[in-house]
């Protein structure tokens, strides 16, 4: 730790883009209750903001929070000040690949980044800082305003001065201890990241989700396997394989179960004929309906209706 100044295809096209994976992972971490709770606790204890920034996203993540240093917010409104801040973020990332690092900006404020690594991959940084490691002084502020004026920056000097002298001040040892604490939290987030990735790998492919919606919208009609595969832009062979892997069911069995579930609801009405329900839910014949219903539910449709009626009368 240191301080320094398309057409049908047999391929699953729904898989995440590898280049977008780190950002997706960071989004999930940012939205996790664990991270939100830690951010609040960190602010309560230190008065500082804490943000998470994807690797190679050269922006000031603290600018997205509601607790950014007012002085930094004012400087960032100027073109040169914003450019200087972005350059600092890039330098900070290059130096903080393995351990927490801090840099001083042209105004003397300290900004820090703590790496979050999943295995050998750097995915993000915890960002905090925008503080001073010494008491604010008139000499340094004068130097800062001269630099801003030399850049041709238009800024309200009175507001800038008030914000500068209200900047939080930390003792170097205290600040370094805080960064060590953040390094421990970064390791915890890395562990959570592994869990999130494993969960993501088990998520249902988009192809299957599209197919389920297609089936549920058309289960009353005749739907062939080829039609379902074509509807989700996949070959029949590929569709069968992916659908079975994701659901544990063949297309035919899944369709039958959707139809039977609808039939179970309709059978609650004693005035509806079984044959009428069979055709309304998409079965080709009464015999097909009876076979499918008994295989899935365990009893024939008439027996199911009778048992359901008894349960209602006993209520």
Q: Give me the chain's average pLDDT, please.
A: 83
Q: CATH homologous superfamily for 206-314? A: Homeodomain-like (1.10.10.60)
48 in Cβ contact with 110 (< 8 Å): no
Check residue 110 and report its DSSP letter. Answer: E
pLDDT classification of 297: cutoffs 50, 70, 90: confident
Domain with CATH 1.10.10.60 in the chain: 206-314
Per-residue pLDDT at 190 = 81
Q: State the virtual CA torsion across 151, 152, 158, 159 in degrees, nearest 10.
A: -70
Is the pLDDT confidence value at 270 over 60?
A: yes
Q: Could you tell me how far CA 238 lies from the centroid of its own chain?
A: 29
> What does the pLDDT read at residue 96?
80
Q: Tell the residue number behind the tokens 């050269």, with chain if given.
A: 58
pLDDT digits (tens, 9 = 90+) for 20-73: 555 677 788 888 888 888 888 998 999 898 999 888 876 777 877 777 889 988
Backbone angles phi, psi at 99, to 5 degrees: -150, 165
Give the per-residue pLDDT at 306: 85
pLDDT of residue 164: 94
What's the confidence (pLDDT) of residue 245?
86
Q: Look at 120-124, 202-206, 251-255, 262-266 and tell me which has the smallest mean pLDDT.
A: 202-206
Does pLDDT of 81 surpass 60?
yes
Model confidence at 202, pLDDT cuts 50, 70, 90, reads low
pLDDT, residue 29, reads: 83
In this prediction, residue 16 has a pLDDT band, given cuts at 50, 70 and 90, of very low
Please name the residue that has the structure tokens 């690949």. Answer: 97
Distance CA 204, CA 17 (A): 16
Strand order across the beta sheet in which 2-4 lies: 2-4, 101-104, 110-118, 121-131, 51-54
**Which pTM does this prediction carry?**
0.57
Between helices 251-266 and 206-218, what is the axis angle to 10°?
40
Rounded mean pLDDT, 279-291: 94
pLDDT digits (tens, 9 = 90+) for 117-164: 876 678 889 999 899 999 999 999 999 999 988 888 787 889 999 999
């Amino acid at each position: 730790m240191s301080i320094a100044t398309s057409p049908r295809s047999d391929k699953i096209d729904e898989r995440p883009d590898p280049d977008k994976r780190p950002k997706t992972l960071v989004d999930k971490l940012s939205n996790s209750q664990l991270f939100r709770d830690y951010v609040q606790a960190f602010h309560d204890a230190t008065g500082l903001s804490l943000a998470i920034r994807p690797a190679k996203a050269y922006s000031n993540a603290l600018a997205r929070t509601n607790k950014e240093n007012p002085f930094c917010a004012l400087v960032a409104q100027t073109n040169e000040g914003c450019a200087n801040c972005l350059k600092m973020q890039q330098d900070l990332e290059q130096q903080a690949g393995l351990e927490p690092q801090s840099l001083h900006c042209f105004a003397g404020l300290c900004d820090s980044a703590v790496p979050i690594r999943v295995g050998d991959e750097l995915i993000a940084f915890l960002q905090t800082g925008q503080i001073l490691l010494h008491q604010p002084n008139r000499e340094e502020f004068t130097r800062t305003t001269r630099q801003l004026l030399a850049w041709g920056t238009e800024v309200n000097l009175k507001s800038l001065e008030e914000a500068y002298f209200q900047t939080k001040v930390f003792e170097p040892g205290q600040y370094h201890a805080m960064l060590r604490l953040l390094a421990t939290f970064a390791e915890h987030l890395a562990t959570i990241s592994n869990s999130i990735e494993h969960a993501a790998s088990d998520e249902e492919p988009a192809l299957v989700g599209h197919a389920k919606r297609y089936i549920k919208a058309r289960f009353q009609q005749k739907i062939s396997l080829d039609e379902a595969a074509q509807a989700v832009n996949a070959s029949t062979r590929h569709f069968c394989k992916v659908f079975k892997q994701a659901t544990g069911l063949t297309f035919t069995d899944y369709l039958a179960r959707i139809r039977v579930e609808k039939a179970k609801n309709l059978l609650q009405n004693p005035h509806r004929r079984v044959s009428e329900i069979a055709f309304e839910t998409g079965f080709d014949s009464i015999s097909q309906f009876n076979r499918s219903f008994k295989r899935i539910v365990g009893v024939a449709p008439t027996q199911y209706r009778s048992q359901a009626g008894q349960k209602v009368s006993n209520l």
